[in-house]
Amino acid sequence: MTKKSVVYFHSARASSVLIPQVPVEQWYTHSLVCKLEVACRRALEGVVNPGDVVAIKVHLGERYTARHLRPTLVRQVVDLVRDWGGKPIVTDTLLRGSHRATETWTRRGMHEALGTAARNGFTPETLGAPLIFADYVNERRGIPVEIGGQLIKRAYVAPLFGDVDALISLAHFKGHDCASIGGQMKNLGVGCQAKQGKHWIHHEQPFRVDPERCNGCGDCVPACPEGAICMEREKAVIDEEACVLCEECLPACPPGAIGAPFAPLGEGLCARIGEAAAGVVRLVGPEKCGFVNLAVDITPLCDCDPFTDVAFVQDIGVFASRDPVALDRACVHAVTAAPGLPNSMAEEAGVMEPGSEKFNAIARLRWLATPGGEDQAPDWRVTLDAAERVELGTQQYELIAL
């Protein structure tokens, strides 16, 4: 029989029955911030030793987003790490793609990414710790980590994670249009990957040039920072061994001759996320990793996306564990058990009843509304099954309420 992993839970509720029971000067102890600390102390004991450099991985949001985790929550984890004698660093990674920022996607280059983080309230001053994007050593290359999965043979983890002693993955648990859920699997399997690793989450092959579309302009050659593109017989050719999949060549190609097929959602991308999530945990060491999900502001889409709609279930609370797979599964169960909120995507998807599966149904709405996306079906079960196969954790858990 598989041993169950322990998941600690602290409810987001602060019932009125507490008012006569708790002295006014102690009301703050029932805030979500303090509940986060309590859950972390119970679940993450032993992860941080005095003197450890500790990466606190969060999603810093995008320009115009408003549902990402609040900086005060991250600050509480920073203060806790310091209380344990650790040296905290708050970190995120850059988006895949050329470093050239757009109005919607600003976190592709270091300068713009730091500006967006500050716009969203994340600065060294508010966090009480250094804020460093994990790609800082090299924006293009990751640390290879063998996975041996069915789809991901090797993950490419952002360089910072090779320089820390411990990792606390602090995730916003919510929906996701491509992965069905955004929690630990997304925070680890995509959010801890270098651009090089993110490519293999989204694509099945390396970038190649379509000779029929290539017009021989040669603009892609100087755009490649690795010198991996040359011209042969008036056509661009990519050296796949030298290419680091940074995508700097894509906006430099007027006819759009450079590309790679996307992995289908469901059995493709969702499984790749689950397998790749094991990369950073193996790099840092499972005994030096802790995982926390904040199931609040449970909206349909990623914190990268300004178009994310309102929450579709009520705030649930804080979940923490040493097992990221069990943690995400416990959160899925909690959201499934909750009633949907009126005038939300839960109502649009017809999943208002407690016990109805919500994430996959709501993710499908996005693709049914997207021309050509009708066949896409993200499925969180595929992700968790894949993570279990590469021995990242188990979906069997014991929930301990705090």
The residue extents of the domains of the chain are 5-204+264-401, 208-259
Per-residue pLDDT for 104 more than 80? no
CA distance 270 to 292: 21
pLDDT of 99 reads 62
Minimum mean pLDDT among 77-91, 95-109, 193-207, 213-227: which range?
A: 95-109
User: Could you give phi then psi for residue 268, rounded to 5 degrees?
Assistant: -95, -85
Higher pLDDT among residues 375 and 184, named by residue: 184
Kindly state the tokens that stand for 170: 């602090």
Find all residues with CB under 8 Å of 102, minimum gap 6, and list them. none
Nearest CA to 316 out of 342, 289, 334 is that of 334
Instruction: Please give the class, per CATH, of domain 208-259.
Output: alpha beta
Whole-angstrom distance between the N-terminal and C-terminal Cα of the chain?
Answer: 27
Half-sphere exposure for 42 (CA within 13 Å, toward CB) = 19
Per-residue pLDDT for 97 more than 90? no
pLDDT of 366 reads 86
Q: Are 164 and 137 in contact (CB under 8 A)?
A: no
pLDDT of 357 reads 97
- Given pLDDT bands bounded at 50, 70 and 90, which one contains residue 153? very high
Nearest CA to 264 out of 159, 365, 174, 372 is that of 372
CA distance 246 to 380: 28
Q: Which residues share a beta bridge with 88? A: 54
Mean pLDDT of the residues in the chain = 92
CA distance 114 to 181: 26
Q: Which of helix, strand or coil describes residue 206?
A: coil
CA distance 119 to 121: 5
pLDDT of 105 reads 65
Kindly state the tokens that stand for 85: 């004698």
